[in-house]
A = this chain, B = another copy of it.
Amino acid sequence: MATVGVIGGGQLGRMLALAGIPLGLTFRFLDPAPDAPAGEVGELLVGPYDDPELLDRLADGASAVTFEFENVPVEAARRVGVLPGPVALEASQDRLVEKRLFRRLGIPTARFDDEVEGFPALLKTRRLGYDGKGQRLVETRPSPSDHVLEELVSFERELSLLAVRSRDAEMRFYPLVESVHRAGILHLSRTPVAAAPQALAQAYATRLLEELDYVGLLALELFETGGELLANEFAPRVHNTGHWTIEGAVTSQFENHLRAILGLPLGSTAPRSREAVMVNVIGHEPPRQAILRIPGAYLHLYGKGPRPGRKLGHVTLLDPTAERLHEIEQLVS
């Protein structure tokens, strides 16, 4: 029985285990929170992410070690030999390094730093930003700081490409997803996308995966504007915009990530339904009865207590009607 070590024990770790247990895998997590959501589906080591002794226990006898959030200390990741590799993690942790990497690979991004011409512009922390945190609008160019100044892009759509690359360099891509954010937090993702720039998005993701010699699942977030795609950021892990794949694709992002890091053959990324929409459950417990009554709705709760702005779960709706989708949005918000 192969064991997978996971740095982080949040909902992404939990869903990795739910996908991997049927493959005969067992899971071990490292998380500072004793009530981390993944604790129900594997062994939970409780402590800081950079505790050498706990990291060694996490990796002990594991067939692979991975992570489920990108703010893992790179030294910790190196110590246990994570997949995807520390180089991908490092690039994703610093917005400036990330943007320079995109540029070097010929992947367009919004104008940043000295290139910014108009104000207001976005000032983002280089590190530890997520879910809209760590960024604010500014009216003038700030003095040099540990921030990135970024042009405001008026995009038509926010798209996300989930890509997976195996140990032997095979790549597969899920159909593009359109995302809608509210208050900086992902509210909804849907696929397929009308007139999807699938080929261009895949070409960009391919450069990134190959440059990083990436193994596992990666999410590339893109702005579509005037027929062009601008890379916003990438996440070197399974991603909220890929939760629809659990029921909506032949192989889920979670299973494909595990297949990749374990050297197993990748599974098909083809959709299993005409259309899929995922709506996040944020802040408060949703009414289970009402959701389960909606045809085509699949409820996922993460075992977390309610708190404003907290992702507590998601609902995937297959082959949605406008009415059913509206009902779900009412129920979870």
Of the four ranges (under 10, 10 to 19, 20 to 34, 35 or more), the interface on chain A belongs to 20 to 34
Cβ of A100 within 8 Å of any chain B Cβ, yes or no, is no
Question: Which of B23, B40, B296 is A301 in contact with, Cβ under 8 Å?
Answer: B23
Contact partners of A138 in chain B: CB under 8 A: none
Chain A residues 6-22 with CB under 8 Å of chain B are: 14, 18, 21-22
A9 to chain B, nearest CB (A): 14
CA distance A109 to B122 in the complex (A): 75
Could you tell me if B301 and A288 are in contact, using CB atoms closer than 8 angstroms? no
Q: A41-B41, A272-B272 are in contact. Are A23 and B288 (CB under 8 A)?
A: yes
Could you tell me if A303 and B24 are in contact, using CB atoms closer than 8 angstroms? yes
Cβ of A135 within 8 Å of any chain B Cβ, yes or no, is no
Question: Which of B18, B292, B295, B313 is A18 in contact with, Cβ under 8 Å?
Answer: B18
Could you tell me if A22 and B301 are in contact, using CB atoms closer than 8 angstroms? yes
Cβ of A73 within 8 Å of any chain B Cβ, yes or no, is no
Chain A residues 29-56 with CB under 8 Å of chain B are: 40-42
Contact partners of A313 in chain B: CB under 8 A: 24
Oligomeric state, in copies: 2
Main secondary structure of the interface of A (DSSP, over half): mixed
Cβ of A250 within 8 Å of any chain B Cβ, yes or no, is yes
Could you tell me if A23 and B299 are in contact, using CB atoms closer than 8 angstroms? yes
Q: What is the chain B residue whose CB lies nearest that of A291?
A: B265
Question: Which of B18, B24, B250, B293 is A22 in contact with, Cβ under 8 Å?
Answer: B18
Question: Which of B40, B250, B259, B295 is A41 in contact with, Cβ under 8 Å?
Answer: B40
Could you tell me if A22 and B300 are in contact, using CB atoms closer than 8 angstroms? yes
CA distance A267 to B247 in the complex (A): 14
A18-B18, A24-B303 are known; give 10 further A-B pairs, CB within 8 A.
A14-B21, A21-B40, A21-B303, A22-B299, A24-B288, A24-B302, A26-B303, A40-B42, A41-B41, A264-B292
